[in-house]
Amino acid sequence: MALLKGKKAIIIGDRDGIPGQAIQECAESAGAQVIYASTECFV
Amino acid sequence: MSGYAVLKGTAYTLAAAQDMVLYNGTTQTTERIVNPGSEYLTALPKHLRSFEEIVSYIPNQVYIGNASPDVLEGLALPWHDKRLPNSDELGTKGKFGEIISQDMFIGLMAISDAFDLVKLERSFAEQVREKLAKHELIGEEKSAPIAKNQESIEIITELVEKEHAEAIYFNGALVGAVKRAHDVDINLSAHVMLENLATKASSVFSLLCLLRSTGIDPGDVDYVIDCCEEACGDMNQRGGGNFAKAAAEIAGLHNATGSDVRGFCAAPAHAILSAASLVKAGTFKNVVVTAGGCTAKLGMNGRDHVKKGLPILEDVISGFSVLISENDGVSPVIRNDITGRHTVGTGSSPQAVISSLVTNALESKGLKITDIDKYSPEMQNPDITKPAGAGDVPESNYKMIAALAVKKGEIERTEIADFVKKHGMQGWAPTQGHIPSGVPYLGFAKDDIMAGKINKAMIIGKGSLFLGRMTNLFDGVSFVLEANSGETEGAKASDFDEKKVKGLIANAMKQLADSIMKE
């Protein structure tokens, strides 16, 4: 948990993996400040 | 009422586009802006494949129907350096479609251009016109408009350098340009017009291949639905459409109208459901779903391919067309009553997505996951995606479907690998967004169902709506393709023969009248 506490996070999720919003929820619950989050497609 | 609609035929096409990788693929155009002298851009031209290499590439041969997806089973990656044992005999034509060279495709763009925007250098234009005139699907008449291209290379250069035209290259040389269609309107810029003409031309080519493979009279097509991912329109109605009717005009479908269905990569599945519903409702008898390919995605994962010493594998503009018709009692039926849909409330985790598209649909009809012989989700070619770190997309889908089958107690956990092998396939489609999305299997599914090899296939379309920044939602729809029972509602209706009944009544009346007269 301490790893992300007070840190600023930029999140890129993968449409075939974990969506950006899900990572954002986790990161915020761990104390990170999410600057930007999106889900991208590479296929 | 006319019973379920049937899948009458399919066409799949590829157009080589090596120079367009360099000049129109967004990975490259972006790199040219932010890092013009990069190692990647310098190295890239050496990684482009020849037309012969594109034709003999096994996944491309599968796409046009020259080889079954079975040839990819157990074939170790990488595939780009492998050939089929009978590779020399296999050409550009397959049972579903065809692969054409880049110069012929540029010619097709000129043929598809209704506004005199494509300008080709005169000697190049003549060479291309001659090639297309000899092609059985194009011929003298359709290729004739190319002859109006009498521009010198100086004029073409001036258009590109001074008039904001988008350059067209072939084998590294400037051979033409697409002019902007408006001085100010960015939706009619040369860049957009080239992108849209490439989509239109590849859709036209697929439509022509569909006419050839199905033998349907062009005048019998009532309606065309385009499901590509581009937008055509001007500054007052960006995305106004209608690619479908524009392509139908060039393909000679003179009795058809049409419309565009959009939904990112899920659009083909949405479009086929719409087409099947229009036919089942009796609104139209023959509906074609069609899509051209995408210049923007050329070389999309090129950085990783070049870094790993691989050829650029995203070097083709794809297309497909599907004919959906009234129930003929023979062709596979489209069960639009067994449909999965990702709803607003579904959520975006892979488990939620697959549950909504697969299990919910099947359970509504009392079917099990294992009742579907083959699943066709996103059939991206892993030879392209794995080196780029995007994984094996079809395999991920199959594993999730298998996991749900375990959760429901239909298979054991230890049977997941077998399930994936039995109910899945290796991907073979180019990474052109909507092109791999469920539909590449339709041609093989039709053949396998009619040959009795399988009974049911599920086609799954998924789309990344969040890319448009209008919603964070994912999307998808699915449907089942099934062997035709041979009983059509039309046939049932014919059991009640109105003429025969009238005849019987008339006879009875006559006998009654005769008996009264005798009395």
Q: Which CATH number fits the domain that encloses residue B290?
A: 3.40.47.40
**B466 at interface of A, judged by CB pairs closer than 8 A:** yes
Residue B511 lies in a domain: no
Q: Which residues of A touch B466 (CB under 8 A)?
A: 15, 20, 38-39
Strand, helix or coil for residue B216: coil
Q: Which residues of B touch A11 (CB under 8 A)?
A: none
Residue B233 lies in a domain: yes
Query: Is B388 in contact with A42 (Cβ distance < 8 A)?
Result: yes
Query: What's the gap in Å between the CA of B367 and the closest CA on chain A?
Result: 26
Region of B214 please: left (phi>0), alpha (psi -120 to 50) or beta.
alpha
Query: What's the gap in Å between the CA of A27 and the closest CA on chain B?
Result: 17
Tokens representing residue B207 in the block:
């439509």
Residue B131 lies in a domain: no
Residues 6 or more apart whose Cβ sits within 8 Å of residue B364: B338
DSSP B236-295: TSTT---HHHHHHHHHT-TT-EEEE---GGGHHHHHHHHHHHHHHTTS-SEEEEEE---S
Q: Which residues of B touch A17 (CB under 8 A)?
A: 350, 391
Task: Report the alpha-carbon distance of residue B72 to residue B414 in Å, rounded.
Answer: 24
Query: Is B349 in contact with A19 (Cβ distance < 8 A)?
Result: yes
Half-sphere exposure of B111 (CA within 13 A, CB side): 29
Of the candidates A17, A39, A38, the one whose C-alpha atom is nearest the C-alpha of residue B392 is A17
Task: Report the alpha-carbon distance of residue B352 to residue A19 in Å, rounded.
Answer: 12
Query: Is A19 in contact with B436 (Cβ distance < 8 A)?
Result: no
Q: Which residues of B touch A20 (CB under 8 A)?
A: 466
Q: How many CB pairs under 8 A join A and B?
A: 43
Bridge-based pairing state of the strands A33-40 and B166-170: unpaired
Instruction: Name the residue facing B390 among A38, A39, A42 (closest C-beta).
Output: A42
pLDDT at B519: 64
Query: Is A42 in contact with B301 (Cβ distance < 8 A)?
Result: yes
Residue B141 lies in a domain: no
Query: Is B385 in contact with A42 (Cβ distance < 8 A)?
Result: yes
Are the C-beta atoms of B306 and B40 separated by less than 8 Å? yes
Instruction: Name the residue facing B396 among A16, A40, A41 (closest C-beta).
Output: A16
Tokens representing residue B302 in the block:
């090129």
pLDDT at B146: 97
Are the C-beta atoms of B489 and B6 separated by less than 8 Å? no
Per-residue pLDDT tens over the stretch A1-43: 579 999 999 999 988 788 898 999 999 999 999 999 988 887 8
Q: Which residues of A touch B348 (CB under 8 A)?
A: 19, 21-22, 39
Residue B132 lies in a domain: no
Query: What's the gap in Å between the CA of B393 and the closest CA on chain A?
Result: 7
**Greatest CA separation for chain B:** 110
Of the candidates B52, B304, B368, B88, the one whose C-alpha atom is nearest the C-alpha of residue A42 is B304
Are the C-beta atoms of B178 and B199 separated by less than 8 Å? no
Of the candidates B143, B145, B153, the one whose C-alpha atom is nearest the C-alpha of residue B122 is B153
Are the C-beta atoms of B96 and B60 separated by less than 8 Å? no
Task: Report the alpha-carbon distance of residue B316 to residue B100 in Å, rounded.
Answer: 10
- For residue B433, give the chain A residue with the closest CA: A43
Query: Is A42 in contact with B300 (Cβ distance < 8 A)?
Result: yes
Q: Cα-Cα-Cα-Cα dihedral of B496, B497, B501, B504, to 10°?
A: -120
**A15 at interface of B, judged by CB pairs closer than 8 A:** yes
pLDDT at B516: 75
**A26 at interface of B, judged by CB pairs closer than 8 A:** no
Q: Which strand (E) or helix (H) includes residue B365?
A: none
Query: What's the gap in Å between the CA of B433 and the closest CA on chain A?
Result: 6
Residue B209 lies in a domain: yes
Are the C-beta atoms of B117 and B181 separated by less than 8 Å? yes
- For residue B300, give the chain A residue with the closest CA: A42
Per-residue pLDDT tens over the stretch B48-75: 999 999 999 999 999 999 999 999 999 9
Task: Report the alpha-carbon distance of residue B40 to residue B31 in Å, rounded.
Answer: 9
Task: Report the alpha-carbon distance of residue B128 to residue B122 in Å, rounded.
Answer: 10
- For residue A39, give the chain B residue with the closest CA: B466
Chain B, 383-442: which have a CB under 8 Å from a chain A CB?
385, 388-391, 393, 396, 431, 433, 436
Tokens representing residue B35 in the block:
């890092």
**B380 at interface of A, judged by CB pairs closer than 8 A:** yes
pLDDT at B213: 96
Instruction: Name the residue facing B391 among A16, A20, A41 (closest C-beta).
Output: A16
How many structural domains does chain B have?
Answer: 1
Q: Count of CB atoms within 10 A of residue B161's CB?
A: 11
Query: Is A22 in contact with B349 (Cβ distance < 8 A)?
Result: yes
DSSP-derived letter for residue B481 is E
Residue B159 lies in a domain: no
Residues 6 or more apart whose Cβ sits within 8 Å of residue B23: B29, B167, B169
Picking from A11, A15, A26, A39 by the largest number of B CB atoms within 10 A of its own CB, the best residue to mutate is A15
Phi, psi at residue B259, to the nearest 5°?
Answer: -160, 170
Are the C-beta atoms of B382 and B427 separated by less than 8 Å? yes
**A29 at interface of B, judged by CB pairs closer than 8 A:** no
Q: Which residues of A touch B464 (CB under 8 A)?
A: 15, 39, 41
Residue B151 lies in a domain: no
Query: What's the gap in Å between the CA of A2 and the closest CA on chain B?
Result: 26
Give me the sheet containing B173-178, strands edge to edge.
Answer: B118-120, B173-178, B166-170
- For residue B382, give the chain A residue with the closest CA: A43
Query: Is A19 in contact with B464 (Cβ distance < 8 A)?
Result: no
> How many residues belong to chain B?
519
pLDDT in tens, chain B (519 residues): 349 999 999 999 999 999 999 999 999 999 999 999 999 999 999 999 999 999 999 999 999 999 999 999 999 999 999 999 998 889 999 999 999 999 999 999 999 999 999 999 999 999 999 999 999 999 999 999 999 999 999 999 999 999 999 999 999 999 999 999 999 999 999 999 999 999 999 999 999 999 999 999 999 999 999 999 999 999 999 999 999 999 999 999 999 999 999 999 999 999 999 999 999 999 999 999 999 999 999 999 999 999 999 999 999 999 999 999 999 999 999 999 999 999 999 988 888 999 999 999 999 999 999 999 999 999 999 999 999 998 999 999 999 999 999 999 999 999 999 999 999 999 999 999 999 999 999 999 999 999 999 999 999 999 999 999 999 999 999 999 999 999 876 555 445 566 666 777 777 777 777 777 776
B20: containing domain: 6-117+180-487
Residue type, A13: G
